Amino acid sequence: MIDVLRVLSKHAFFLWLSGFREACSLHRAFFFCKRSRKLAIRTGQCFILNGLIFLGSILLLNSVIKPILFSILPHDCRQLSSSVPCDFQRTLKLYAFLRSLLIEIFYVLWFYPLYLFSFIISSLWYNDIAQQAFLVMEDTSHAKEHPSGSSTSTTAFVDKREGFEGFVIGLAEQIYSVLLLIFFFIEVSLVGLLPYIGVPAKFILLSWMYSYYCFEYKWNLADFGCKERLELFHTNWAFFAGFGSPCALAIFFFSPLVSGGVMAILFPLFVLSATGTQERQLILSHGKMMGSREPVKIPVFYAVDILATWTLRHFFSATSHGKSDDKAH
DSSP tag of 79: G
Q: Angle at CA 297, nearest 5°, toward 294 and 302?
A: 150
Mean pLDDT, the chain, as a whole number?
Answer: 81
**Model confidence at 205, in pLDDT bands (50, 70, 90)?**
very high
Report residue 45 CA to chain centroid gap. Answer: 18
Q: Decide if pLDDT at 192 tops 80.
A: yes
Taking each helix axis from N to C end, the angle separating 37-46 and 256-275, rounded to the nearest 10 degrees, works out to: 160
Query: Tell me, what's the pLDDT at 151?
Result: 45
The band of 43, judged by pLDDT with boundaries at 50, 70 and 90, is very high
227 contact partners, CB below 8 Å, separation of at least 6? none
What pLDDT shows up at residue 158? 47
Residue 240 has pLDDT above 90, yes or no: yes
**Residue range 156-173, pLDDT digits in tens:** 444 555 555 555 666 777
pLDDT at residue number 278: 87
- Rounded to two decimals, what is the model's pTM? 0.81
